[in-house]
Amino acid sequence: MNKEVPTRKSLRERVADRKRGIHDVPPMSERKSKLTKVLKRFFVITQYLGLLLLVLSLGGIVTDNYELKNVNLIILYCSMFLVGRFGIIVLKSFHMFK
């Protein structure tokens, strides 16, 4: 478990860099980057699949003279869409506040 720690800049250099608008972002580990890629794909697929199924169920509702046959499926599709959407928002917020 030896981690290579890069040498740290002096306080004067760091303050000068911050005043110029330069921020040092530590590199993301390979495992963490793979995890974020997989999570982002999962959330995007969940969001679009939920939205597609909602649109298809809306088409079925319209063709059946606006009768709701299975409300539980609509709740499931809405929750799929919302889980995907909020997951993407959370991932973006974590990326923004690194």
Q: CA geometry: angle at 78 spanning 64 and 69, to 5°?
A: 25
Residue 98: the pLDDT is 59
Element housing 60 (H / E): helix 30-63
Quick check: pTM over 0.85?
no
Question: Residue 84 and residue 44: Cα distance in Å, rounded?
Answer: 6
Q: Is the pLDDT of residue 79 over 60?
A: yes
Per-domain residue ranges of the chain: 29-96
Question: Residue 76 and residue 22: Cα distance in Å, rounded?
Answer: 45
Question: Residue 90 and residue 88: Cα distance in Å, rounded?
Answer: 5
pLDDT class of 66 with cuts at 50, 70, 90: confident
Contacting residues for 48 by C-beta, under 8 A, at least 6 apart? 84
The amino acid that residue 86 corresponds to is: F
